[in-house]
C-alpha cells in the first residue's frame, strides 16, 4: 500500500498481524509528512511510548514532527488542564483508586471533547492523530478517539489477535466496531520483522501460528523452524530450567531479549529478573508499587530506615537488607569494629536526620556499591527524583505522583534484557523472546509473547504441543 496513506486519509483503520510493518509505516509516513504542526501519536504503555520513540529516532524522524504519549496519560493532562470543564473531582488525578479514577478521567476527557471546548486548541496544536495498538482500547477510550476524530484527521492501527487488555470491567472495543467508525485501509501481511533479519521462514511460521491459534488447532513446537526452541519444564517452579532459558543469548552481538512471565503474578517477574544477571523488570505505567510506598512511607516513624532499606532491596539486587539492617543497628549503637561503607554511612545519616534529601542520598550511595545492580530502575529513578524534588517530608507523595506523570510523558528506553508480562511488553520487540509462563497464557497472550523476538523464540512448557481455544 501507499506508505503515506495513513497520513492522507481523513479517517481510517489499518489492521495487520504482529511484525508486518505497522511501526515502520508510522515512521516512513512521518518522514514523508510536511505539515508545520506535529502529529499526536497515542498508544497504551510507557514502554510502548519508549519503543516507538526509539524506532522513530532510528528512522531519523525529527521529534518536532510528532508528540507521543499514552492515551490515559494524554487524558490525565487534559483533565488536569481543564478540571472544571471535565466535570470531575480533581482528586481523581492522584489515581489513588485506579479502578474508579481512570474511568472518571476518561469520562472527564469525553466531557471536554463533547463540549466542543478543545476544537480550536487541537487545530492549533496538532495536524492529525495516530493511535497505535488500537485493539487494546476499551470502549471509553474508543469513544474518546472517535471524538478526537471529529476534530482532527485520525488513523488507528492494530491487530485483533493482540487484544489482551480486556479484564474485569475493561471491555475491549470489537474490531468490527473499529472498522465501522474508521473505514479499513488495505491490510498488510508481509512479516517484515523477520524478513529484514533473514528469518523469513520463522516469520511465515508465526503467521501460520496466528491462524492455528484462532482456530484452536495444535501447534507442535517440535516441527517449528530452527529459530524456535522448546524447553521442557516440570511446571512453573522448575527454577533451574527456567533460569537457564532466561539466560538465552541473542545470535547477534549486543542483541536484546524479552522475558515473558504471567501478568497475574508480578512478584514472579521480580523473582525471574533477580536470577538473571543484567535483567530488569518493566513496570506498569502507574508505577503502582512506588506510589504505594510513597503514600505509606513515614519519615518520622521508628522503622523508617528499615522501610527504606527494604525498598532498596526491592529495587536493587545485592543489597542484603537483613545484613544492612543489622549493620545499621551496630553502627548506631557504636559497637562497630570496622569502618562503615559509604552506603552504611548514608543509612546512619538518614537514621539520625530522616528527611527526603538524606533518603535520596542513601539510595544513590547504595546503588553505587560494588555488587549492587538495578532490578527495577524505573521505580528507583522515580523515587530518587521525587525525593530530590521534595522540600519536606510532607511533599514526598505529591512529588511521587509528579514523577510518575513525567515518566508517562518521557517514557524510557527498553533494557537489553527485560522481564515483564505481555501487557507490558506488547508493542516491543527484541532479537529473542523467551516465554517463561507459556502454560498460563491464553491464545492471544501466547501469540503476543511468541511474536516479540525477531531472530529467536524460546518456549518453556510442560508439553511441546500447544493448543488454545479462543
Same domain, 304 and 395: yes
Q: Average pLDDT in the 42-46 region?
A: 88
Same domain, 11 and 125: yes
pLDDT of residue 326: 96
Same domain, 26 and 98: yes
Q: Average pLDDT in the 90-115 region?
A: 92
Same domain, 235 and 150: no
pLDDT of residue 2: 41
* Residue 26 placed within a domain: yes
Tell how strand 257-261 and strand 417-421 pair up: parallel
Same domain, 263 and 307: no
Looking up cell 471529529 gives 150
On whether the CB atoms of residues 259 and 434 are closer than 8 A, the answer is: yes
pLDDT of residue 411: 62
d(CA 346, CA 349): 5
pLDDT category of residue 280 using cuts at 50, 70 and 90: very high
Chain-centroid distance of CA 313 in Å reads 22
Which of 374, 391, 410 terminates a domain? The answer is 410
Same domain, 297 and 360: yes
pLDDT of residue 426: 84
Other CB atoms within 10 A of residue 156 CB = 27
CA quadruple 352, 355, 360, 361: dihedral sign: negative
Domain count, the chain: 3
- Tens-digit pLDDT profile for residues 14-27: 999 999 999 999 99
* Residue 90 placed within a domain: yes
**Residue 400 scores a pLDDT above 50:** yes
Q: Mean of the per-residue pLDDT values for the chain? A: 93
Same domain, 437 and 321: no
* Residue 186 placed within a domain: no
Same domain, 368 and 450: no
For the chain, give the percent of residues with pLDDT over 70: 98
Containing structural domain, residue 199:
192-282+415-466
- Alpha-carbon Rg for the chain, nearest whole angstrom, is 24
* Residue 420 placed within a domain: yes
d(CA 337, CA 314): 29
pLDDT category of residue 94 using cuts at 50, 70 and 90: confident
d(CA 305, CA 293): 13
- Tens-digit pLDDT profile for residues 369-386: 999 999 999 999 999 999
- Tens-digit pLDDT profile for residues 298-346: 999 999 999 999 999 999 999 999 999 999 999 999 998 899 999 999 9
Does 255 or 285 have the greater pLDDT score?
A: 255
**Residue 281 scores a pLDDT above 70:** yes
Same domain, 261 and 337: no
**Residue 367 scores a pLDDT above 50:** yes
Residues with Cβ < 8 Å from 421, sequence gap 6 or more?
A: 260, 261, 262, 263, 266, 269
**Residue 47 scores a pLDDT above 60:** yes
* Residue 187 placed within a domain: no
pLDDT of residue 35: 85
Residues with Cβ < 8 Å from 305, sequence gap 6 or more?
A: 325, 328, 347, 350, 351, 354
pLDDT of residue 414: 74
* Residue 214 placed within a domain: yes
Same domain, 175 and 240: no
Cell of 388: 530530590
Same domain, 37 and 89: yes
Same domain, 151 and 40: yes
Instruction: Map residue 157 onto helix, strand or coil.
Output: strand
Which of 150, 181, 212 terminates a domain? The answer is 181
Concatenate the DSSP letters of all residues of 413-448 into one string.
PPPSEEEEEHHHHTT--EEEEEES-GGG--HHHHHH
d(CA 433, CA 419): 10
Q: For 79-93, 124-138, 162-176, 293-307, which range has the lowest pLDDT when averaged over its residues?
A: 162-176
**Residue 393 scores a pLDDT above 80:** yes
* Residue 197 placed within a domain: yes
pLDDT of residue 1: 39
* Residue 110 placed within a domain: yes
pLDDT category of residue 5 using cuts at 50, 70 and 90: confident
Q: Average pLDDT in the 90-113 region?
A: 92
Q: Average pLDDT in the 235-259 region?
A: 95
What region does 214 belong to: left with phi over 0, alpha with psi -120 to 50, or beta?
alpha
pLDDT of residue 410: 65
- Tens-digit pLDDT profile for residues 193-224: 999 999 999 999 999 999 999 999 999 999 99
Cell of 295: 503514600
The domain that holds 177 is classified in CATH as 3.40.50.300
d(CA 423, CA 87): 31
Cell of 155: 488513523
39 beta partners: 66, 128
pLDDT of residue 275: 94
Amino acid at each position: 500500500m501507499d506508505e503515506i496513506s495513513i497520513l492522507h486519509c481523513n479517517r481510517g483503520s489499518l489492521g495487520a498481524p504482529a511484525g508486518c510493518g505497522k511501526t515502520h509505516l508510522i515512521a516512513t509516513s512521518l518522514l514523508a509528512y510536511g505539515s508545520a504542526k506535529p502529529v499526536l501519536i497515542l498508544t497504551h504503555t510507557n514502554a510502548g511510548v519508549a519503543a516507538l520513540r526509539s524506532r522513530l529516532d532510528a528512522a531519523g524522524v525529527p521529534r518536532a514532527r510528532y508528540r507521543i504519549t499514552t492515551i490515559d496519560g494524554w487524558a490525565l493532562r487534559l483533565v488536569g488542564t481543564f478540571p472544571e470543564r471535565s466535570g470531575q473531582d480533581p482528586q481523581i488525578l492522584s489515581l489513588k483508586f485506579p479502578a474508579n479514577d481512570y474511568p472518571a478521567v476518561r469520562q472527564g476527557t469525553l466531557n471536554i471533547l463533547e463540549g466542543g471546548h478543545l476544537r480550536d486548541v487541537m487545530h492549533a496544536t496538532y495536524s492529525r492523530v495516530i493511535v497505535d495498538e488500537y485493539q487494546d482500547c476499551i470502549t471509553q477510550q474508543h469513544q474518546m478517539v472517535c471524538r478526537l476524530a471529529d476534530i482532527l484527521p485520525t488513523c488507528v492501527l492494530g491487530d485483533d489477535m493482540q487484544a489482551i487488555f480486556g479484564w474485569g470491567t475493561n471491555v475491549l472495543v470489537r474490531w468490527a466496531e473499529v472498522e465501522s467508525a474508521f473505514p479499513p485501509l488495505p491490510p498488510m501481511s508481509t512479516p517484515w520483522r523477520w524478513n529484514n533479519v533473514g528469518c523469513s521462514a520463522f516469520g511465515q511460521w508465526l503467521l501460520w501460528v496466528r491462524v492455528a491459534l484462532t482456530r484452536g488447532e495444535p501447534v507442535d513446537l517440535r516441527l517449528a523452524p530452527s529459530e524456535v526452541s522448546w524447553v521442557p519444564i516440570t511446571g512453573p517452579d522448575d527454577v533451574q530450567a527456567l533460569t537457564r532459558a532466561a539466560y538465552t543469548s541473542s545470535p547477534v552481538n549486543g542483541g536484546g531479549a524479552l522475558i515473558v512471565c504471567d501478568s497475574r503474578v508480578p512478584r514472579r517477574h521480580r523473582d525471574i529478573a533477580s536470577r538473571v544477571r543484567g535483567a530488569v523488570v518493566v513496570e506498569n505505567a502507574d508505577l503502582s508499587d512506588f506510589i504505594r510506598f510513597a503514600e505509606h512511607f513515614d519519615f518520622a516513624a521508628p522503622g523508617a530506615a528499615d522501610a527504606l532499606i527494604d525498598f532498596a532491596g526491592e529495587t536493587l539486587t545485592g543489597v542484603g537488607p537483613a545484613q544492612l539492617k543489622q549493620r545499621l543497628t551496630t553502627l548506631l549503637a557504636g559497637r562497630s569494629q570496622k569502618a562503615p561503607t559509604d552506603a552504611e554511612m548514608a543509612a546512619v545519616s538518614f537514621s539520625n536526620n530522616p528527611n527526603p534529601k538524606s533518603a535520596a542520598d542513601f539510595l544513590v550511595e547504595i546503588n553505587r556499591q560494588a555488587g549492587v545492580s538495578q532490578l527495577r530502575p524505573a521505580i528507583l529513578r522515580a523515587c530518587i527524583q521525587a525525593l530530590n524534588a521534595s522540600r519536606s517530608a510532607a511533599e514526598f507523595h505529591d512529588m511521587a505522583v509528579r514523577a510518575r506523570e513525567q515518566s508517562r510523558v518521557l517514557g524510557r528506553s527498553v533494557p537489553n534484557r527485560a522481564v515483564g508480562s505481555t501487557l507490558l511488553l506488547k508493542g516491543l520487540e527484541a532479537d529473542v523472546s523467551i516465554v517463561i509462563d507459556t502454560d498460563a497464557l491464553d491464545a492471544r497472550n501466547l501469540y503476543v509473547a511468541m511474536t516479540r523476538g525477531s531472530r529467536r523464540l524460546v518456549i518453556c512448557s510442560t508439553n511441546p504441543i500447544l493448543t488454545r481455544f479462543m
